[in-house]
C-alpha cells in the first residue's frame, strides 16, 4: 500500500508541475500578446496625433495665406478705373507678405508629405501649387495690367476647392486609422 501511495503522490506532483508549467507558458504568451497589442495601439495613436497636428497646421497656414488674398481683393475693389500709387504700394506690401505666408505653407507641405499618406501629401501639394496664380496676378497688377484683377478674382474657387479636397482626405485618413 505504501508503494501505491508513493506513486499516486508522484503522479499528483508531476501533474501539478506540468499544469503549472503550461499555465505559466500561457500566461507568458498572453502577456506578450497584450504588450504587442498595446505597443501597436500606441504607435497608431501616436501616428494619428502627429498627422492630425501636421494637417491642422497646414490648414491653418492655408487660411493665413487666403487672408492675404482677401486683403488684396479689398485693395483692388472698385479698381475698374485703374490702380493708383497708394494701392500699388499696398499691393507690394501684400505681395511680400504673400511670399512669407507661402514659404510657411511650403514648409508645412513638406511636413504633410513626410507624415503621409501619399494621397494627402499630393493634395497638400495641389493646395501649394494653386497659390501660384494669385502671386502672378498680384505681380501683374503691380505692373499695371488691368486684366490682372479679374484673373486674381478667378483664382479663389480653384484654391478653395483644393483646400476642401485636402480637408476631406485628411479627415478620411484620420478616421480610418
Residue 45: enclosing H or E segment and its boundaries? helix 2-76
Residues 6+ apart with CB under 8 A from 91: 72, 75, 76, 83, 138, 141, 142
Residue 140 lies in a domain: yes
For 67-103, write each residue's pLDDT tens digit: 999 999 999 887 666 788 889 999 999 999 999 999 9
Contacts of 153 (CB under 8 A, 6+ apart): 73
pLDDT of residue 1: 53
CA distances from 104 to 34, 49, 54, 61 (A): 42, 21, 13, 7
Alpha-carbon distance of 67 to 63, in angstroms, equals: 6
Range of the domain at 127: 47-175
* Residue 38: inside a domain: no
Asked whether residue 5 is assigned to any structural domain, the reply reads: no
Measuring CA to CA, which residue among 117, 98, 130 is closest to residue 169? 117
pTM for the whole structure: 0.81
27 within a domain of the structure (yes/no): no
Q: Is residue 101 part of a domain?
A: yes
Q: Is residue 83 part of a domain?
A: yes
- CA dihedral defined by 142, 146, 151, 153, rounded to 10 degrees? 80
Q: Give the domain CATH number at 146.
A: 1.20.120
Q: Would residue 41 count as lying in a domain?
A: no
Predicted local confidence at residue 2, as pLDDT: 60
Amino acid at each position: 500500500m505504501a508503494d501505491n501511495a508513493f506513486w499516486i503522490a508522484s503522479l499528483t506532483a508531476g501533474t501539478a508541475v506540468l499544469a503549472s508549467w503550461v499555465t505559466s507558458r500561457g500566461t507568458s504568451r498572453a502577456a506578450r500578446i497584450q504588450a504587442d497589442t498595446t505597443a501597436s495601439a500606441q504607435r497608431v495613436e501616436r501616428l494619428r496625433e502627429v498627422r492630425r497636428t501636421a494637417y491642422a497646421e497646414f490648414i491653418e497656414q492655408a487660411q493665413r495665406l487666403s487672408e492675404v488674398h482677401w486683403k488684396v481683393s479689398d485693395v483692388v475693389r472698385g479698381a475698374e478705373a485703374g490702380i493708383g500709387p497708394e494701392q500699388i504700394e499696398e499691393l507690394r506690401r501684400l505681395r511680400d507678405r504673400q511670399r512669407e505666408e507661402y514659404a510657411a505653407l511650403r514648409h508645412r507641405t513638406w511636413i504633410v508629405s513626410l507624415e503621409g499618406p501619399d494621397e494627402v501629401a499630393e493634395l497638400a501639394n495641389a493646395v501649394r501649387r494653386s497659390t501660384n496664380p494669385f502671386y502672378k496676378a498680384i505681380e501683374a497688377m503691380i505692373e499695371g495690367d488691368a486684366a490682372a484683377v479679374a484673373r486674381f478674382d478667378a483664382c479663389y474657387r480653384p484654391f478653395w476647392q483644393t483646400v476642401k479636397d485636402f480637408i476631406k482626405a485628411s479627415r478620411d485618413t484620420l478616421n480610418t486609422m
